[in-house]
Amino acid sequence: MKARYFILLGISIVIFSCNAKKKVDKEELAKPNILFISVDDLNNWVSNIEGFSNAKTPNFDRLAAMGVTFTNAHVQAPLCGPSRASVMTGLRPSTTGIYGMIPDNKIRREENLATKDIVFLPEYFKDNGYHTMGIGKLFHHHAPDSVFDESGGRRKGFGPYPDKRFVWDGFGKGVKGIHGRTNTDWGAFPEQDSLMPDHQSVNWVIERLTKNYQQPFFLALGFQRPHVPLYVPQKWFDLYPIESIQTPPYYADDLEDIPPVGLKINDLPMMPSTEWAIKTGEWKNIVQAYLACISFVDYQLGRVLDALENSKHSENTIIVLWSDHGYRLGEKGTFAKHALWETATKAPLMFAGSNLPKGKKIDVPVEMLSIYPTLLELSGLPEYSKNEGKSLVKLMLNNQGLKESYAITTYGMNNHAVKVDGYRYIQYEDGTEEFYDHESDPNEWYNEADNPIYKEKKKRLKKLLPKVNSEWDLETNYTFQPYFVEQKVRVNGKSVKDLEVIDSE
């Protein structure tokens, strides 16, 4: 009798376990999928935000109509490596000390107390039952080992490149052998979209959107354009006849009221200057090439949206699209990101999903740091206690928090910008300041830091500055910018010869 009892008990446990497993699977499958799209060096010129020089981006418009667009989103660092590390760790650069480029596999190390046991954004989803996949530029290069269940990798560099190239090799204070150079050139190349890495990455994503999955998925796509070199096929240039091109606002004496540290940061020997572009007649050509690259990415985005729409996953997928920083196309004297001013820190941020408003725009400042907690809340996952950003869900659903919203950008140790609605405050490591009133000065041409009428406003913004300013992580460098080489040597006590030159790409 006892034997029969234990046999029946065993059978009951097995049946119960199977039913429980089925229930868990159903719960997991009910979770939304995530389509995570990053775009390299994309500023706010897309048509649904600024539409500068008649930018043609119908698929960015299409995504905007599907969800919420943040027109005033700001990055936590105006440079690829630290910006992406911030999004993926959920931590500020001032917390991690990651101010420059860093190899993907060295972000999380025992030596960095802030990141040594951090859970990267895709990993958090993986740990909560998601099948994770990624291709292209997501972290600085691609991704740390084992972050994705399926990785499509990334082709090194930003090719293909023509045999003969004009590569800008600027002046400034750069020293050959110590400071690097960049891939800044522009033109129509290659002949077909299919030869571009971004096109091939989209093929990989489309293939995965046609499949069935036993778990919800996290699918990440990192576009390389419009990062330099500004090469895409001729048909994208044809959308923008050179005679129709506008150039951004420029004031030749703009930098006369900038503190010395700000001028050092803006000394970019590897980038063309606006004065050079004016004298050589290249300014419109550079703007045309940048717009052509945006339209190329827009077309690739459309291919992804078509594939999702035609898949079984269309009703249960959350989309987030973001860029790692803005890009200056002649504003403030150069063609680069690399600054704490508006055009370098502001970039597109869009969310779409079945439970989000359609076609909504939110104009208050927000942070890319909010991507991590926002995706967790939208997916019904537990909060991650280490996230320093705030979820944007309540802001999207019912405008909760509009008045309190702000954004902080950090560039190097103890250099910060604070953006609140209508104002920008910058404080450098030596305490010098900039202050801009965007209602009267949208181009940030006139530094009002010493104007007494802004004293109280400045004091309020100053209180928002990060309280922690970690020293440079020993594995992070930015050898392409003389100021950052000098600052890291000064802070960490290492000689220039000890610095590893990490590819700016």
Q: Give 6-38 as a DSSP string.
A: HHHHHHHHHHHHHHHHHHHHHHHHHSPEEEEEE
The Cα–Cα gap between 70 and 362 comes to: 5
User: What 3-state class would DSSP assign to 275?
Assistant: helix
Beta strand 407-410 with 416-420: parallel, antiparallel or unpaired? antiparallel
Tokens 């990192």 sit at which residue?
222
Residues 435, 448: contact at Cβ < 8 Å?
yes
Which residues are paired to 477 by β-bridges?
101
Q: Measure Cα distances from 391 to 177, 397, 503 in Å.
A: 44, 11, 33
Active site includes 416? no
Backbone angles phi, psi at 327, to 5 degrees: -155, 130
Beta strand residue intervals within 216-316, DSSP E: 217-223, 230-232
- At CA 445, angle to CA 442 and CA 449, rounded to 5? 100
The Cα–Cα gap between 357 and 393 comes to: 11
Q: Which of 80, 227, 313, 338 is catalytic?
A: 80
Beta-carbon contacts of 2 under 8 Å, excluding residues fewer than 6 positions away, are: none
The Cα–Cα gap between 81 and 102 comes to: 6
Tokens 């699918």 sit at which residue?
219
Active site includes 140? yes
Q: Measure Cα distances from 192 to 10, 206, 290 in Å.
A: 63, 19, 18
Q: Which of 140, 179, 227, 338 is catalytic?
A: 140
Count CB neighbours of 20 within 10 A. 10
Q: Which residues are catalytic?
A: 80, 140
